[in-house]
Structure 1
Amino acid sequence: MSLLLEHQYFFVSKKLGTVIGADQALLLQQLHYRLENQGVMKEGQKWYRQTYKNWSKQLGMWSAPKVKSLLIKLEKNKIVISTDKFNRFYVDRSKWYRIDYERVNQMLHTQFPEKNEYVRINKDTAFN
């Protein structure tokens, strides 16, 4: 029972989890948190830089290949935008990530079109 009380918790929106899957929603929530707290402004957008291995270490519940798989799915759905163009050295294997909040809104609105079911997400209030 103490495991339920003494460790860090991850929270995710039930609606978002329904639309994109629980694991992807959880990773997206963590990216949002990191963008808000550690994001770097580049080209008018907040970006967060990380390697798959370090994502795995930070989250502690997925291997680097699993993190890579989740991020690739989020990128294919155009929910997460990534690039390596901000890296200073060509040997730097990290990627920079940002969330396309409009795409998230579009997906939620498609799945939950009723006005009372749909809450607009923006970068200031997302996932809170």
Structure 2
Amino acid sequence: MKPIIDEPFLLIVPPSLAVKIGLNEAIVLNQLHYRLSQSPLKSGGFTWYHHTYTKWQNQFPFWSERTIVRIFLSLENQGIIVSSQHHNAMKINKTKWYRIDYDVLHAVLGCQIDNTIVPDFQEPTTKVVTTDAQHLAPSDLKELIKEEVKEKHVDFVFEVVNYLNKKTNKEFRASNKATKRLINGRLSEGYTLKDFQTVIDRKVHHWLTNPEMKPYLRPSTLFSATNFENYLNEPTNTQSSKANTGIQPIVLDFDAGEED
């Protein structure tokens, strides 16, 4: 039977895979599996496929970039997909490389994966696509840097917001312009994911059970420039923690509401 629309490629999703890991995750995983079967990239004894989120959206035009990021992070957190940025030839290139951990997938599915599903394994080689910055035109190099910086920031914002939502049981959006501006602002100042997690953990400990302070567990309060540094440097001893459970002065950013 011919498909309703004749397209260059069709997305095929095994129903049992969708039942186990979710429909969206199954679509992405099966597509990555297909790409890996054709990929020439070999490193560390594994076959890899590298792509940016923007390029992934060309393969999944029915999803927003935000949704694609969330799906990949879900698969990475489950250990089914392994990603790395260490195989890029240039340090400025932060494009993610992906592979599937078929051992983890086997454990998740609870059944033997047929050999026809797993791409033929090839002996480790050093065949890696490389790009020499010296041979790039200035405009191409500038575009590469811009794309990779965006890729890094997208990942970072989602990691921070997901962590905040998990700790506060809220649903802040990583796509919110004000939230992205605040997080990227602190990132540009040199703060790390560990710093964000420390601030979130500290204020959740102080405010989550305090009805007056709980509403301030939000990006516009936690991640503003002045508050963030103050919260990060708060003392952590027991006596100080008890003192901090009450109402504290907060620097409000009236330009950084939670809505776009």
Establish whether TM, by shorter chain, passes 0.5. yes
Deviation at 1:10, TM superposition (A): 1.1
* C-alpha distance in 1 between matches for 2:96 and 2:60: 17
Who is 1:126 aligned against? 117
In the alignment, is the contact (CA less than 8 A) between 1:74 and 1:80 conserved in 2?
yes
4+ aligned runs moved over 6 Å, structure 1: none
* C-alpha distance in 1 between matches for 2:45 and 2:65: 29
Name the SS for the 2:97 alignment partner: strand
* C-alpha distance in 2 between matches for 1:45 and 1:19: 25
Who is 2:28 aligned against? 27
Name the SS for the 2:5 alignment partner: helix
* C-alpha distance in 2 between matches for 1:38 and 1:80: 16
In the alignment, is the contact (CA less than 8 A) between 1:83 and 1:96 conserved in 2?
yes
Match status 1:70 vs 2:61: no
Deviation at 1:70, TM superposition (A): 0.5
Who is 2:5 aligned against? 5
Q: Which amino acid aligns with 1:98?
A: R
Deviation at 1:12, TM superposition (A): 0.8
Name the SS for the 1:70 alignment partner: helix
Name the SS for the 1:48 alignment partner: strand
Say how many residue pairs are matched.
116
Over the matched positions of the two proteins, sequence identity in percent amounts to: 31
Who is 2:108 aligned against? 107
Deviation at 1:38, TM superposition (A): 1.6
TM-score using structure 1 length: 0.81
Deviations 1:56-84 (A, max 9, x none): 11232222221111100000000000000
Q: CA RMSD in A?
A: 2.0
* C-alpha distance in 1 between matches for 2:91 and 2:5: 44
Higher relative contact order (CA 8 A, sep 6+): 1
Deviation at 1:34, TM superposition (A): 0.5
Deviation at 1:89, TM superposition (A): 2.0
In structure 2, the gaps of 5 or more residues are 120-260
The 3 A distance-change label for structure 1 pair 33 and 107 is: same
* C-alpha distance in 2 between matches for 1:66 and 1:39: 28
In the alignment, is the contact (CA less than 8 A) between 1:75 and 1:81 conserved in 2?
yes
The 3 A distance-change label for structure 1 pair 39 and 32 is: farther
In structure 1, the gaps of 5 or more residues are 110-117
Give the structure with the higher percent strand: 1
Match status 1:47 vs 2:48: yes
Larger radius of gyration: 2
* C-alpha distance in 1 between matches for 2:41 and 2:103: 20
Name the SS for the 1:61 alignment partner: coil
